[in-house]
C-alpha cells in the first residue's frame, strides 16, 4: 500500500535511494511518498463510494502546504481546527465550499475569519459556541450552516486513552440529551443547524464502534424528524487506522469498515441525507518516514544506547502516546523487499544478529526516546535509521524545544525529490523575539 522498499539492501522512497535525500538535505528529515498519498486517498474514496461522501482530509494530521495541495488536486476537501489551518487550507487551493471547521475552542477572530471566507460547515461543540457563531454571522450579514458535534458515549477499548474522544469523560461534543433543544428551527438569527457530527477518536480498529454510534445518530434523527427538525448532513468523523508495525496491512480492514458503514447508512441516504468523513492518519501515516542519523553509541547498564540527531521535538508521538514505530537501518545487508517484510523476517529468523537497543534523542528529557529495548541489527555511528509511519502527527506536532530548529520536509515522486519545507536555522528560532531587543 505504500512505496517504501529496500532495493539491494538500501531503503528507497518510490524509486529514490534515501541516501541521496540525506546527502542533499541533511538529517533529521521527513520524507513523504506522493504516490502513497494518492493511493491511500483513492483506497479510502473507493471504500466509502456507496455514500458519495464529502471527504475532508484532517489538516492537523499532516499540514504541509504541498501535501495539502496534492490531496486537494485529488478532489479532497479539508477539515480544519483553527484559523491557522483555515489559512493553510485556502493557500492550498481548496474552495471554501469543501472546508469543514471543527475544534472545541474557536475564538471570535477565528469564527469571523471562517464566516467571511464562506466555509461550508461548522462543527459546533458547545451551546456557547453556537451563540457566538450566531452573533458573528449576524454582524457579518451572513447565514451559516452548522452540525452539532454529539458526544454519543461510545468508546473503543483499543483506542488509546489520549486519543479517544467519543466517551462521556472527554471534552468533546455535547451530550445527546442536552443537544436536542439546539436543533429547534428558527432558534438562531443567522445559523441553520442542519447536521450531526461525531468523531470517536483515532485510531479506531473496529467497525462496530462506528456502527454503535450510528445507531444512536439514527435514533436522534428520528426523534428530531418528529419535531420538524430536518437533518441534511451526517459527519461520521475519521479515526480510520494505519499500519504502524509489522501487522497485516490495513487496506482490507479499511475496505471492510467502509462497506459496513456504508451498508448501515443506506437507510439515511435513501432519506436524502448527505455524508462527510474526515480521515487523517489512514491517508498520511504510512506516506511518511523520518530519517535520523546516529550521533553516538554507548553502553548503558543493561543495554546499548544509540543517540540520534532527532528528538521528541521532531517526533513527539512515542513520548506523548507511547506510540510504537518500526525503526530500522536504511542499509540492511543485500536484501530487497517491503520494509514490513524485511523487519518482520529479521525479527523471526536468523537473518541477522539482533541486539536490544534504546533509540534516544538529544533533548534534555528522560522521555526523549523513540524505542526502549528494541531488538535491532548492528549499526555504527553515522548510520542512518528510518522511523516508519511518521506521516501523521509527526511534523505537525514538531516544536523548537531546546532551541532546536524543526527539520526539513521532502516530497518524493518517482525519482524526483522536492523540498517542501526548509530546515529552520538559528535565525529562525529568534526572529519573533528581536522586537523585544529593538525596543529595549
Does a structural domain hold residue 36? no
Q: Specify binding-site residues for substrate.
A: 281, 317, 321, 365, 393
pLDDT at 334: 82
pLDDT at 351: 64
Give catalytic residue positions: 364
Residues 355 and 384 in one domain: yes
> What is the tens place of the pLDDT at every residue in 375-393?
999 999 999 999 999 999 9
pLDDT at 116: 98
As a whole number of angstroms, the distance between CA 139 and CA 134 comes to 9
3-state SS, 346-394, equals: HHHCCCCCEEEEEEECCCCCCCCEEEEEEEEECCCCCCEEEECCCCCCC
As a whole number of angstroms, the distance between CA 304 and CA 296 comes to 11
pLDDT at 402: 98
Residues 366 and 396 in one domain: yes
Does a structural domain hold residue 97? no
What pTM, to 2 d.p., does this model score? 0.94
Does a structural domain hold residue 211? yes
Domain end (from 277, 309, 339): 277
Residues 202 and 291 in one domain: no
Below-50 pLDDT ranges, the chain: 157
Residues 18 and 148 in one domain: no
Residues 208 and 316 in one domain: no
Residues 258 and 297 in one domain: no
Domain end (from 277, 295, 329): 277
Range of the domain at 340: 4-31+285-429
Q: How many domains, the chain?
A: 2
Q: Specify binding-site residues.
A: 239, 278-281, 317, 321, 365, 393
**Helix 108-117 with 83-91: angle, nearest 10 deg:** 30
Q: Specify binding-site residues for pyridoxal 5'-phosphate.
A: 239, 278-281, 393
Domain end (from 249, 277, 305): 277
CATH number at residue 107: 3.20.20.10
Does a structural domain hold residue 252? yes
CATH number at residue 27: 2.40.37.10
Does a structural domain hold residue 66? no
Q: Among 359, 328, 375, which residue's Cα sits nearest to residue 10?
A: 328
Residues 400 and 323 in one domain: yes
- Cα dihedral 41, 237, 267, 215, rounded to 10, equals 140
Residues 295 and 248 in one domain: no
> What is the tens place of the pLDDT at every residue in 52-107?
999 999 999 999 999 999 999 999 999 999 999 999 999 999 999 999 999 999 99
Residues 320 and 355 in one domain: yes
* Cα angle: 78, vertex 82, 87; to 5 degrees: 65
Residues 228 and 339 in one domain: no
pLDDT at 170: 75
Residues 391 and 408 in one domain: yes
Residues 299 and 358 in one domain: yes
CB 198 within 8 A of CB 237: yes
Report the 10 Å Cβ neighbour count for 254: 23
Does a structural domain hold residue 68? no
pLDDT at 11: 97
Rounded to a whole number of angstroms, the CA Rg of the chain reads: 23
Does a structural domain hold residue 67? no
Burial of 380 (0-12, 13-18, 19+ CB in 10 A): exposed
Does a structural domain hold residue 435? no
As a whole number of angstroms, the distance between CA 120 and CA 67 comes to 21
Amino acid at each position: 500500500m505504500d512505496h517504501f522498499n529496500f532495493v539491494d539492501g538500501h531503503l528507497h522512497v518510490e524509486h529514490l535511494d534515501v541516501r541521496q535525500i540525506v546527502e542533499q538535505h541533511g538529517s533529521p528529515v521527513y520524507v513523504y511518498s506522493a504516490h502513497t498519498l494518492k493511493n491511500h486517498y483513492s483506497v479510502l474514496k473507493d471504500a466509502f463510494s456507496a455514500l458519495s461522501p464529502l471527504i475532508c482530509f484532517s489538516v492537523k494530521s499532516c499540514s504541509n502546504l504541498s501535501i495539502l495541495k496534492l490531496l486537494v488536486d485529488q478532489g479532497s476537501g479539508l477539515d480544519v481546527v483553527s484559523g491557522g489551518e483555515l489559512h493553510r487550507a485556502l493557500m492550498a487551493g481548496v474552495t471554501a465550499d469543501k472546508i469543514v471547521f471543527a475544534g472545541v475552542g474557536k475564538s471570535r477572530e477565528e469564527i469571523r475569519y471562517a464566516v467571511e471566507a464562506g466555509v461550508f460547515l461548522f462543527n459546533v461543540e458547545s451551546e456557547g459556541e453556537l451563540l457566538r457563531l450566531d452573533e458573528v454571522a449576524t454582524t457579518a450579514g451572513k447565514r451559516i450552516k452548522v452540525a452539532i458535534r454529539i458526544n454519543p458515549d461510545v468508546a473503543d477499548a483499543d483506542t488509546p486513552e489520549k486519543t479517544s474522544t467519543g466517551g462521556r469523560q472527554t471534552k468533546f461534543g455535547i451530550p445527546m440529551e442536552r443537544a436536542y433543544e439546539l436543533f429547534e428551527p428558527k432558534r438562531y438569527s443567522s445559523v441553520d443547524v442542519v447536521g450531526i457530527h461525531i468523531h470517536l477518536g483515532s485510531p479506531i480498529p473496529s467497525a462496530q464502534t462506528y456502527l454503535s454510534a450510528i445507531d444512536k445518530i439514527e435514533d436522534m434523527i428520528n426523534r428530531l424528524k418528529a419535531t420538524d427538525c430536518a437533518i441534511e448532513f451526517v459527519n461520521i468523523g475519521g479515526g480510520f487506522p494505519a499500519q504502524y508495525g509489522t501487522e497485516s496491512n490495513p487496506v482490507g480492514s479499511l475496505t471492510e469498515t467502509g462497506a459496513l458503514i456504508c451498508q448501515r447508512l443506506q437507510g439515511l441516504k435513501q432519506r436524502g441525507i448527505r455524508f462527510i468523513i474526515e480521515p487523517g492518519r489512514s491517508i498520511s501515516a504510512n506516506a511518511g518516514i523520518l530519517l535520523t542519523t546516529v550521533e553516538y553509541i554507548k553502553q548503558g547498564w543493561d543495554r546499548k544506547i544509540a543517540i540520534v540527531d532527532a528528538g521528541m521535538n521532531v517526533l513527539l508521538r512515542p513520548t506523548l502516546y507511547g506510540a510504537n514505530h518500526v525503526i530500522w537501518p536504511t542499509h540492511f545487508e543485500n536484501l530487497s523487499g517491503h520494509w514490513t517484510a524485511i523487519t518482520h523476517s529479521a525479527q523471526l529468523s536468523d537473518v541477522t544478529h539482533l541486539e536490544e537497543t534504546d533509540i534516544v534523542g538529544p533533548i534534555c528529557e528522560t522521555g526523549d526516546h523513540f524505542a526502549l529495548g528494541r531488538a535491532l541489527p548492528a549499526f555504527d555511528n553515522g548510520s542512518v535509521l528510518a522511523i516508519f509511519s511518521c506521516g501523521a502527527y509527526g511534523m505537525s506536532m514538531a516544536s523548537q524545544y531546546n532551541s532546536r530548529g524543526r527539520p526539513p520536509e521532502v516530497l518524493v515522486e518517482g525519482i524526483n525529490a522536492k523540498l517542501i519545507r526548509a530546515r529552520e536555522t538559528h535565525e529562525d528560532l529568534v526572529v519573533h523575539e528581536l522586537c523585544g531587543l529593538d525596543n529595549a
